[in-house]
Amino acid sequence: MAGNFPPLVQQPLQGLHAVVTGGGSGIGAAIAQSLLQAGARVTLMGRNHERLQVQQLALAALGEVGFQIVDVGDEVSVQRGFAAATALAPVDILVNNAGQVETAPISRTSLELWQRMLQVNLTGTFLCSREVLPVMTARGFGRIINVASTAALTGYAYVAAYCAAKHGVLGLTRAMAQETAKKGVTVNAVCPGYTETDIVDRAVQTIMQKTGRSADEARAELAAGNPLGRLIQPQEVAATVLWLARRDSAAINGQAISVCGGELP
């Protein structure tokens, strides 16, 4: 019966402050837009001042949005960025979206590449989460959402370092979820398949260079593993993040939510 369901809330995140790392483009920008439309105040974080400024201007009509220049793999940069972001309001929602992928066969994966993938994708998630957890647990509310990848759930050839880092993100997600479960803080991971972003654009260029295929053929190859027959759209990932960020998603904790059209079971 209709009376058994809570009323629809038009802006379910009203009054909450969200930080989105890697917020200058792609999935991060889509997430920021979704959170703003749901009523949250949003702080974008990233390394590229120009990209962040462009996104801030593009999103300003939707609500209160600012940005901080942050290298998520650098402890001091993270500490400074979050200190500035929390000067006006504590962080209620953290979306660890910043990430990077580089390709190489494992036999030609240098130690520098390996460490770079772990630093950005895994250590960055740890450093940012560590900054917000004490206040979240003290206040009895928080949402941490880690944008991992289907690479956190399976293996892909030629991206061993990236897969290892994203598997680590999922392990970190589950460990934090156990620690915070009774303190009003949930920690979950969203695992997109190949998504229409700059990362996929670079993958397309690599396929073209190595195989001589056209851009359309390269994109079709990436989409072939998805039962939908297409790439995932950033807005589809953002919709899942929004669901996990809501106040009434308190029972969803320690999960890896695949956004991949059925690529993985």
Q: Any idea which residues carry the catalytic annotation?
A: 162
Helices within the chain (DSSP H only): 26-37, 49-59, 75-85, 111-118, 124-139, 160-180, 198-211, 215-223, 234-245
- Calculate ∠ Cα 145-224-244, nearest 5°: 15
Compute the residue count for the chain: 265
Nearest-angstrom CA–CA distance, 43 and 237: 19
Do the Cβ atoms of 146 and 188 come closer than 8 Å?
yes
Nearest-angstrom CA–CA distance, 141 and 139: 6
Nearest-angstrom CA–CA distance, 211 and 101: 20
Strand order in the sheet with 93-96: 65-69, 41-46, 17-21, 93-96, 142-147, 185-192, 256-259
